[in-house]
Amino acid sequence: MSAPTAPPTTTLYLDIDGCVGAEAFSRNPREETGWAGEWHVRKVGPYQLRYSVELIEALKELAALPGVTVVFASSWEDHAPEFLPVIVGLGERHWSSLDGVLGDGGESWWWKLNAIQEDARARSMDRVLWVDDELAKIPEARAAAEHLAPTALTIAPNPQHGLTRVHIQAMRQFILTP
C-alpha cells in the first residue's frame, strides 16, 4: 500500500486594494461580483476598505485548503497581516506579507514583482497563484509569474469591484486540481 500523496503546495500572493476591497465606494458591485450578501466599509488601520462578507468567507475557505499559503502582496505591507484578518474577520492564522514598496524608488508596482520573485525562490512550492488588479496593466508581470513555480495562475480583477465569485471558483479549481 502506497503512502497518501501530499496535496500540491500553492502560494497565493494576494493584493488587497482592487482585489479584496472594491475601489468603487459610490456604487454597489453586487451584480458584477456575484456577492449578493452584506458589504462593509471599514477603517482597517490607516486604510479604508469596502469588501463583501461573502468574499472574506470564500478567502478563508481557500486559505484553509491543504497546501495553501497566503502571502499579502500589497502596498499595505506589514499592515495587511496586522489589521486585515482581525478587522474583516479573516480569522486567526499565520498571515504573512511582502515588504519592499518603500525601497523601490517610487516604482510602486514593480516592487511587488521583485518581492514575489524573491519570496518564491525562498519557498518550495508546486504552484503560484497571483491575484492583483494591476496584472492587467503589466503583461511582463504575468509572463514572469510563469517562471515562479512549475504551475502558475494569474488573476487581475476589475479594481472597481475586486474579486468575483467566478474568480474564487477558478482559484479553488486551480488549487484542488492534482
**What is the rounded CA–CA span in Å between residue 86 and residue 79?**
11
pTM of this structure: 0.88
| Beta-strand runs (E) in the chain | 10-14, 39-44, 47-52, 68-72, 96-97, 127-131, 151-155
- What pLDDT score does 162 carry? 94
- Name which of 34-38, 128-132, 148-152, 154-158 the model is least confident about: 148-152
User: So what's the architecture of 10-176 in CATH?
Assistant: 3-Layer(aba) Sandwich (3.40)
Widest Cα–Cα separation across the chain: 59
Query: Does residue 137 or residue 169 have the better pLDDT?
Result: 169
Give me the residue spans of the domains in the chain: 10-176
